[in-house]
């Protein structure tokens, strides 16, 4: 089964708007590796993105190393044809709630500098793609279609589904390596 938000983010990605290896290019590595994509064009694009995210100086014929591009996320995945896939780190996307973060950035009881700092944190944590109507910040959660940003009408807000409100949080899988 496919993960629609990952497909949307891959489809939305533009090399012209967000060159690879820039601060604006963010993808949840776990989402990219785990999505089952049916559209062959998007599957090709995902393959291109994964090749770009691979840590090329460390790669060999049998080992590829990927590091997450979301700020604050220290997930690293090493794929070795002989030993399999090894994952280390903590996935920021697993517990991040964009709606709570965005609401905190608009808290009028905070100083202007504090609100700016909170919004910068959102920009650094989220996938900052844009479309025709929105220069938004898209929630990195794999199952979350929520976005926050300032739309063309100049008003700030959120759009989409907030997973925390729609269904209770799931227990997180603890992996010890």
Q: Using CA atoms, how far apart are residues 114 and 66, in angstroms rounded to an integer? A: 33
In this structure, the number of other CB atoms found within 10 A of the CB of residue 167 comes to 9
The per-residue pLDDT for range 95-133, each reduced to its tens digit, is 888 888 888 888 889 998 998 898 888 888 888 765 555
Domain boundary among 91, 120, 151: 91
Last residue of a domain, one of 68, 91, 114: 91
Residue 68 lies in a domain: yes
Q: How far apart are CA 93 and CA 68, in angstroms?
A: 11
Range of the domain at 54: 4-91
Asked if the structure places residue 22 within a domain, the reply is yes
Per-residue pLDDT at 148 exceeds 60: yes
The average confidence (pLDDT) of the chain is: 77
Are 160 and 98 members of one domain? yes
What's the CA gap between 115 and 94, in Å, rounded?
24
Q: Are 78 and 128 found together in one domain?
A: no
Instruction: For residue 144, give every residue at least 6 positions away whose Cβ sits within 8 Å of its Cβ, in sequence order, or none.
Output: 5, 98, 160, 161, 162, 163
**Model pTM?**
0.71
- The answer, yes or no, to whether residue 37 has pLDDT greater than 80, is yes
Show the CA angle centred on residue 17, arms to residues 102 and 95, nearest 5°. Answer: 30
Domain count, the chain: 2
Q: Report the range of poorest mean pLDDT among 47-51, 54-58, 81-85, 95-99.
A: 54-58
Confidence of residue 57 (pLDDT cuts 50, 70, 90): low
Are 11 and 86 part of one and the same domain?
A: yes
């Amino acid at each position: 089964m496919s993960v629609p938000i990952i497909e949307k983010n891959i489809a939305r990605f533009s090399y012209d708007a967000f060159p690879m290896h820039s601060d604006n290019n963010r993808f949840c590595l776990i989402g990219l590796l785990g999505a089952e994509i049916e559209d062959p064009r998007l599957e090709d694009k995902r393959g291109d993105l994964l090749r770009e995210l691979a840590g090329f100086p460390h790669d060999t014929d049998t080992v590829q190393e990927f590091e997450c591009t979301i700020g604050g996320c220290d997930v690293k995945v090493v794929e070795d044809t002989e030993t399999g896939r090894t994952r280390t780190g903590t996935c920021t996307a697993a517990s991040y709630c964009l709606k709570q973060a965005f609401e905190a950035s608009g808290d009028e009881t905070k100083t202007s500098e504090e609100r700016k700092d909170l919004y910068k944190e959102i920009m650094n944590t989220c996938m900052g793609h844009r479309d025709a109507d929105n220069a938004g910040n898209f929630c990195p959660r794999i199952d979350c279609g929520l976005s926050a940003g300032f739309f063309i009408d100049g008003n700030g807000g959120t759009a989409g589904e907030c997973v925390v409100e729609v269904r209770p949080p799931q227990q997180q899988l603890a992996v010890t390596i």
